[in-house]
Amino acid sequence: MCAKWYLGTGAQNDVVINTSIHLARNLKTCPFPARLNLPEKLKVNSIIKGAADSIQDYSFNYAEMKTLSQAEVVSLAERHLVSPEFASSRDGRALLLTEDESVSIMLNEEDHIRLQVMYAGFALDEAYRTASIIEKELSSKLDFAFDDRLGYLTQDPTALGTGMKASVVLHLPALVSTSQITKLITTVSKLGLSLRGSYGEGAAAKGDLFRLSNTITLGISERAAIENLKSIALQIAAQERSAREELFKAPVTEDRIYRAYGVLKYARLIDTSEFMDLISLVRLGAVKGIINMDCAQIEALMIHMQPATISLSVDRPLDRTERDKLRAKLVRQTL
């Protein structure tokens, strides 16, 4: 059993939870996924799998989505290894995944290839380096659709160009509780980036987790897009830190953190939404040194407590109450 990427701790991890790089690529000679029938999709899968298998330094597990249960596929989405869109329809789609789950390749999602590299903490350069190594390996075996004027061609013309989406997931409890987040979302959108809830949208983002991504793919190089994202992410992190400092001046903050910890430690039933609210406070306390818990442990818990993932930890379907009961038990054991 190999350690998953999220069990590591990364730079800036008081605010930055993880980093990911996505690259979209298509085979030159094949129509895009929406115009392929099932046998053609399976053929595309096997061509790409063949190229991925020849990469020396990375070994991938391959799974046709059709062979997985609905809960298994949703759990992959909860762990952000596949997109919700990918999970919504399983026919003709497949996944290549490394053992540590840091590299995943969705086959026949919006594009033939959606490569994702995900690392803990703030690691844009490292993630981009890995993504481009794998992309280069693939491109030495496969002919990608590319145009000198438009860059890499994608099924959705709004994604063409570099085909790169870089993201960092940020934990912003202080900016949420001081109501600065809405303004920040607007500001960021003017800078060619998007900031949205990582689980759930807008100010209702669960666990105060937000994903900051670039939206520019044409007229800008990968490097410039990453540098731009990096500098905005660091500015938001600094803003969050100073908002936290303000927050901790009021004794009620520490009280709320201990209460959250108390509920998580003793509750007998807990649903996802309450869990995410409370664990967010606990994480805030852990970073501050009030609660003796490791951030990596908290991140792993956030992932493992999502509804489909929790159902997978037992070998039978659970109803809502059973699931909330199991969640409370697993949380108690961890705390």
Partner 1 sequence: MICQNCNKNDATLHMKRIINGRAAEVHLCSDCARSLGYGEAFSGFGLGFGHLLGELLSSNENGSANSMRCPACGKSFEEIAEDGKMGCAECYAVFYDRLLPTLNKIHGKTSYMGTKPQTSGNSAAPSISLDELKNALSEAIERQDFELAASLRDQINELVREGGAL
Among 190, 249, 268, 316, binds partner 1 (CB under 8 A): 190
Q: Which has the closest alpha carbon to 24: 85, 88, 99, 76?
A: 85
Rounded Cα distance, 105 and 116, in Å: 6
Asked if 189 touches partner 1 (CB under 8 A), the answer is: yes
Stretch that binds partner 1, among 75-83, 144-152, 247-255, 308-316 (CB under 8 A): 144-152
C-alpha distances (whole Å) from 242 to each of 86, 186, 245, 306 are: 38, 20, 5, 30
| Using rule CB under 8 A, residue 217 touches partner 1 | yes
Q: How many Cβ atoms are within 10 Å of 191's Cβ, its own excluded?
A: 16
Neighbour count for residue 207 (Cβ, 10 Å) = 25
Shortest distance, position 154 Cβ to partner 1, whole Å: 8
Smallest gap, in angstroms, from Cβ of residue 278 to partner 1?
A: 28
- Does residue 149 belong to the site contacting partner 1 (CB under 8 A)? yes
E runs forming strands in 259-304: none
Helix axes 222-249, 272-288, angle to 10 degrees: 80
CB of 146 to partner 1, least distance (A): 5
Residue 39 in contact with partner 1, rule: CB under 8 A: no
Determine the interface stretch with partner 1 among 142-150, 252-260, 299-307, 320-328 (rule: CB under 8 A).
142-150
Is 221 a binding residue for partner 1 by CB under 8 A? The answer is yes
Residue 145 touches partner 1, criterion: CB under 8 A: yes
Contact yes or no for 48/158 (Cβ under 8 A):
no
Number of residues near partner 1 (by CB under 8 A): 51
63/59 Cα distance (integer angstroms) = 13
Q: Say whether residue 227 binds partner 1 (CB under 8 A).
A: yes
229 scored as a contact of partner 1 (CB under 8 A): no
30 binding partner 1? (CB under 8 A): yes
Among the listed residues 58, 146, 248, 258, the single contact to partner 1 using CB under 8 A: 146
> Could you give the angle at the alpha carbon of 271 between the alpha carbons of 266 and 277, nearest 5°?
80
Q: Among 1-9, 155-163, 254-262, 287-295, which window interacts with partner 1 (CB under 8 A)?
A: 155-163
In whole angstroms, the minimum distance from the beta carbon of 56 to partner 1 comes to 13
Q: 133 in helix, strand or coil?
A: helix
> From CA 78, how far away is CA 209, in angstroms rounded?
13
Residue closer to partner 1 by CB (options 154, 167) is 154
Identify the DSSP state of 53.
Answer: H
Of 46-54, 69-77, 138-146, 304-312, which segment contacts partner 1 by CB under 8 A? 138-146
CA-nearest of 78, 85, 204 to 93 is 85
Q: Label the pairing between strands 113-120 and 209-214.
A: unpaired
Our CA angle for 54, 167, 312, nearest 5°, is 70
Task: Tell me the residue length of the chain.
Answer: 335
Instruction: Kindly tell me which of 138 and 282 has the beta carbon lying closer to partner 1.
Output: 138
Per-residue contact string for residues 243-262; x = within reach of partner 1 by CB under 8 A: --------------------
Contact call for residue 228 and partner 1 (CB under 8 A): yes
User: What is the C-alpha radius of gyration for the chain, rounded to an integer number of angstroms?
Assistant: 21
Near partner 1 in 167-186, by CB under 8 A: 186
- In whole angstroms, the minimum distance from the beta carbon of 50 to partner 1 comes to 17
Bridge partners, residue 16, by sequence: 170
Chain residues that interact with partner 1, rule: CB under 8 A: 26, 28-32, 34-35, 129, 132-133, 136, 139-140, 144-158, 161-162, 164, 186, 189-192, 201, 215-224, 227-228, 231
